[in-house]
Amino acid sequence: MTKPPQQTSCPVPEAERTWWKESVVYQIYPRSFADSDGDGIGDIPGIIDRLDHVADLGADAIWLNPVYESPQHDNGYDISDYRSIHHEYGTMGDWEELLAQVHERDMRLVMDLVVNHTSVDHEWFQRSRRRDPDYEDYYIWREGEDGEAPNNWESFFGGSAWTYDEERGKYYLHLYDESQPDLNWRNPAVRRDIFDTMEWWLEKGIDGFRLDVINLLSKAAGLPDGDPDAEWTGARHFVDGPRLLAYLEAMDEQVLSNYDAMTVGEMPQLSVEQARKYAGTDGPLDMAFHFQHTKLDYEDGKRWSVGDWDLPELKQITRRWHDGLSAEGWNALFWENHDQPRVVSRYGDPETYHRESATMLGTFMLTRSGTPYVYQGQELGMTNAQWTDVESLADVDARRATRELLDSGQYDSFEEVADIVGYRSRDNARTPMQWDDSDHAGFTDGEPWLPVNTNYEEVNVAAQADDSVTAYYRSLIELRAEHDAFVYGTYEDLHPEHERLAAYTQTLEYPDGGVSERMLAVLNFSADREPVELPTTVEDADLLLSNYDRDAITPTTAHEPYEARVFRLE
Catalytic residues, by residue number, are 212, 266
Q: What minimum distance in Å lies between the beta carbon of 394 and ligand TEU?
A: 13
Total residues in contact with ligand TEU, by rule CB under 6 A: 13
End-to-end CA distance of the chain: 6
Burial of 445 (0-12, 13-18, 19+ CB in 10 A): middle
* Closest to ligand TEU by CB, 135 or 176: 176
Q: Please state the closest distance from residue 140 (CB atom) to ligand TEU, in A.
A: 16
Nearest-approach distance from CB 247 to ligand TEU, in angstroms: 17
Residue 304: CB minimum distance to ligand TEU, A: 10
| Residue 233 beta carbon to ligand TEU: minimum distance, rounded to whole angstroms | 14
Closer CB to ligand TEU, residue 212 or residue 517? Answer: 212
Looking at beta carbons only, is 126 or 292 nearer to ligand TEU?
Answer: 292
Q: What's the closest the beta carbon of residue 567 comes to ligand TEU, in angstroms?
A: 35
Q: Measuring CA to CA, which residue among 353, 361, 362, 348 is closest to residue 476?
A: 362
Among 202, 213, 361, 569, binds ligand TEU (CB under 6 A): 213
Q: Give residue 205's identity as a one-letter amino acid code.
A: G
Q: Which of 38, 41, 42, 40 is nearest to 28 (CA)?
A: 42
Task: Give yes or no for residue 240 binding ligand TEU (CB under 6 A).
Answer: no
Q: Examine residue 291 and tell whether it contacts ligand TEU (CB under 6 A).
A: yes
Name residues contacting ligand TEU, limited to 169-188 (CB under 6 A).
176
Q: Which residues of 17-31 are buried (b: 16+ CB within 10 A; e: fewer)?
A: eeebbebbbbbbbbb
Q: Tell me, what amino acid is at 250?
A: A
Can residue 560 be called a binding residue for ligand TEU (CB under 6 A)? no
DSSP 8-class letter at 65: P
Q: Which of residues 114-143 bind ligand TEU (CB under 6 A)?
A: 114
Kindly state whether residue 35 participates in binding ligand TEU, applying the rule CB under 6 A. Answer: no
Residue 339 touches ligand TEU, criterion: CB under 6 A: yes
User: Is 212 a binder of ligand TEU (CB under 6 A)?
Assistant: yes
Determine the Cα–Cα distance for residues 472 and 478; give it in Å rounded to an integer: 10
Q: What amino acid occupies position 359?
A: T
Closer residue to ligand TEU in complex, CB, 291/510: 291
Q: Which is nearer to ligand TEU, 396 or 519 (CB)?
A: 396
Nearer of residues 230 and 552 to ligand TEU, judged by Cβ? 230
Strand 25-28 with 371-375, pairing: parallel
Q: Indicate the residue among 339 and 570 with the shorter CB distance to ligand TEU.
A: 339
Rounded to a whole number of angstroms, the CA Rg of the chain reads 24
CB of 6 to ligand TEU, least distance (A): 49
- Interface residue with ligand TEU among 77, 95, 330, 562 (CB under 6 A) is 77
C-alpha triplet 420, 425, 430: angle, nearest 5°: 150
- Beta-bridged to residue 302, according to DSSP, are 299
Residue among 74 and 94 whose Cβ is closer to ligand TEU: 74
CB of 321 to ligand TEU, least distance (A): 17
Q: Choose between 112 and 570: whose C-beta lies nearer to ligand TEU.
A: 112
Query: Which amino acid makes up residue 22?
Result: E
Measured between alpha carbons, how far is 512 from 347 in angstroms, rounded to an integer?
Answer: 40
- Tell me if 375 sits within 8 A of 27, measured CB to CB: yes
**Out of 71, 159, 268, 514, the residue judged to bind ligand TEU by CB under 6 A:** 268
Residue 148 backbone dihedrals phi, psi, to 5 degrees: -115, 165
Q: Of these, 89, 139, 141, 156, which contacts ligand TEU (CB under 6 A)?
A: 156
Those residues whose C-beta lies under 8 Å from the C-beta of residue 42, and which sit 6 or more positions away, are: 29, 30, 31, 32, 33, 34, 35, 89, 432, 433, 443, 444
Contact by Cβ (8 Å): 33, 433: yes
Query: Which CB sits closer to ligand TEU, 219 or 338?
Result: 338
**Rounded to the nearest 5 degrees, what angle is found at the Cα of 77, between the Cα atoms of 271 and 123?**
125
Are the CB atoms for 562 and 354 separated by under 8 Å? no
Q: Are 315 and 296 in contact (CB under 8 A)?
A: no
Contacts with 341 (C-beta within 8 Å, 6 or more apart), sequence order: 384, 423, 424, 425, 428, 429
In angstroms, rounded to a whole number, what is the distance separating the alpha carbons of residues 242 and 240?
7
Of 155 and 526, CB closest to ligand TEU: 155
- Please give the Cα distance from 53 to 439 (Å, whole number): 20
Q: Does 530 bind ligand TEU (CB under 6 A)?
A: no
Sequence-ordered alpha helix ranges (H) in 62-187: 92-104, 123-129
One character per residue 482-511, x = contact with ligand TEU (rule: CB under 6 A): ------------------------------
Whole-angstrom Cα distance, residue 259 to residue 256? 6
306 with 423: CB under 8 angstroms?
A: yes
Half-sphere exposure of residue 283: CA atoms within 13 angstroms, side-chain side: 23
Identity at 380, one-letter amino acid code: L
Instruction: Give me the least distance between CB of 560 and ligand TEU, in Å please.
Output: 32
Select from 35, 43, 74, 286 the one that contacts ligand TEU (CB under 6 A): 74
- Residue 339 beta carbon to ligand TEU: minimum distance, rounded to whole angstroms: 3
Beta bridge partners of 117: 182
The dihedral region occupied by 141, where left means phi > 0, alpha psi between -120 and 50, and beta the remainder, is beta
Could you tell me the smallest distance in angstroms from the CB atom of residue 355 to ligand TEU? 27
CA 244 to chain centre: 21
> Residue numbers of the site for ligand TEU (CB under 6 A)?
74, 77, 114, 156, 176, 212-213, 266, 268, 291, 303, 338-339
